[in-house]
Amino acid sequence: MIEQFSDFGLWIMYKDTAYRQIFVWFLKQILDNKEYLMPLVDKYYVDIDDMYVNLWSNTKKKTREMQESGELPVGILSEAEKYFVPSEQKRHMLEELERERKKKGLS
């Protein structure tokens, strides 16, 4: 990732005169405030294998493997993949909200 960010920065530095100064200013702000920013960034840092997009990608692969082996019909998601699908997340959150409302006597 550092290499891609560096490539992006170099591209801006060489090719994009409109944003060159903005990019350098932004980079300097980050570097000058490293001691302040790192504790803020650390709480959100995860290893690349544990990043949301990579976990979702792995579950999609699992779904595809299960479909190919006949364990799962085509068009049906594995339980692992359902966790990452926005409509499934919404359904789960609404169910959880309804449970909490009932528990508090609001429904």
Structural domain spans, the chain: 2-42, 48-103
Q: Which two tokens stand for residue 75?
A: 């068009």
* pLDDT < 70: residue spans in the chain: 1, 107
Q: Which two tokens stand for residue 106?
A: 């609001």
Task: Please report the pLDDT score of residue 15 as a whole number.
Answer: 85
Task: Please report the pLDDT score of residue 17 as a whole number.
Answer: 80
How far apart (Å, rounded) are the C-alpha atoms in residues 90 and 78? 17
Task: Please report the pLDDT score of residue 61 as a whole number.
Answer: 95
The pLDDT tens digits for 54-67 are 999 999 999 999 99
Tokens 């570097």 locate to 31
Task: Please report the pLDDT score of residue 27 as a whole number.
Answer: 85
